[in-house]
Each structure stands twice: as C-alpha cells, then as structure tokens.
Chain A
Amino acid sequence: GQQVMQIPQYQHVQEGEDFTTYCNSSTTLSNIQWYKQRPGGHPVFLIQLVKSGEVKKQKRLTFQFGEAKKNSSLHITATQTTDVGTYFCAGPRHNNDMRFGAGTRLTVKP
C-alpha cells in the first residue's frame, strides 16, 4: 500500500540556520499536508499542497510539491527557537484519512 517516507528523523540546528525535511511517496498523491507538533502538544495543520510543482510560503516556511506529486519538502529559513517541534507530512488514504510520515524532530540551539 501507499507509504509516505520522511527524512531525516532528527535535525539539530543552530538558531539562524536553515532546515529542510523531505517526504517521498511510493505512489502519486492527490495532495499532501504538513503538520507541526510542538513537544507535548498535538499536531497542528500547516498547509495542503495540491498542484504539481506547487510552492507555497508561510513567512519563513516554504512548502514544495514535486512535479510528479510523489515528493514534497518543507524548508525553514533562519530557524528560531519557536520552530522547535516535530514536522509531519501526510498523504491521503481511503476513508478521508491520512497516512503520516514518521516525522522530523527539529531542535534549535539558541
């Protein structure tokens, strides 16, 4: 069945450095979503990408959807301590559900 692979598992950066997490699917995705989960918190929806080659920005966050709609990335420019958390991508599943990637845990050293 469809799998969503996400790398890296962990990323530790110095504040001000950039950060990128990548998701790859074994099949073409109709859409992909990104979530952020702060330590001890619940996942919060960030964005959904639908179109092939789509690029969306939210302040310092840049989201990309690959041309083949099988991969996606989230890039954070000049990380801040408030960016700490785990970032998940998720692809659609049957029954209106999503299949989540393993997540990338970001830590930021001040």
Chain B
Amino acid sequence: GAVVSQHPSRVICKSGTSVKIECRSLDFQATTMFWYRQFPKKSLMLMATSNEGSKATYEQGVEKDKFLINHASLTLSTLTVTSAHPEDSSFYICRGPREIGYTFGSGTRLTVV
C-alpha cells in the first residue's frame, strides 16, 4: 500500500525556535495532504490541508502565521511550527488523500522546552 514518510519522529526544541516537519509520499503523487494535531489521550484534530502549488486551507482557530504549511511538490508537504512555545508541544501527524487509502505518517512528537 501507499507509504507516507514523516520525519522527524521526535524533536525537542527551545522556546522561540522553529521546527520543520516533513511528510513525503513515497509511491504516489499527492495533490493534498492533511495535517493533524493530537494532544495526549485525545483525538485527532485537523489543522490544515496542504494543496500542491497553492495556499493551504486552515481550519478555524489555527494560526496561519504560526503553523506554516507548504506543499511544494507532489511528494512533499511540510509543516513548520514557528516561534514554538511549550503549549505547542504535541503530536503532529500527516495523512495522505483518500485515494491512497487513508494512510497516516508515523507522526512527530514535538516537545518545546
């Protein structure tokens, strides 16, 4: 089946720094990619949908300037958490489009200290 490669799997960063998370589709071309955030013991909340070659679509309440999403090619979508703060610590995970079978990336556990 389709594979979505996400990295890093874990990252610890200092407050105020930025962190980039990458999701690559290894065996398919994705015009869209979905980015979720999951707090401990909670469900997945959609943050935004990245669109290849155009602006991402953000969910209500998600800060566009803080969570920068770029979909520069059909195989790469990135989420950059800018000026990270401890409250941004969470599990971030991407998901490919329905056409490739609802495949999630392996997730990135971000800890901001």
* A interface residues (Cβ-Cβ under 8 A, vs B): 33, 35, 41-45, 48, 88, 93, 95-98, 100-103, 105
Contacts and interface: CB of A to CB of B under 8 A. Distances in A.
Given A33-B102, A42-B106, A96 B44 contact: no
B85 to A, nearest CB: 24
B57 A95 contact: yes
6 contacts: A42-B104, A45-B104, A88-B44, A96-B32, A96-B97, A101-B43
Contacts of A44: 104
Contacts of B34: 97
Contact of A43 (B41, B44, B98): B44
A87 to B, nearest CB: 11
B46 A97 contact: yes
B111 interface: no
B52 to A, nearest CB: 14
B101 interface: yes
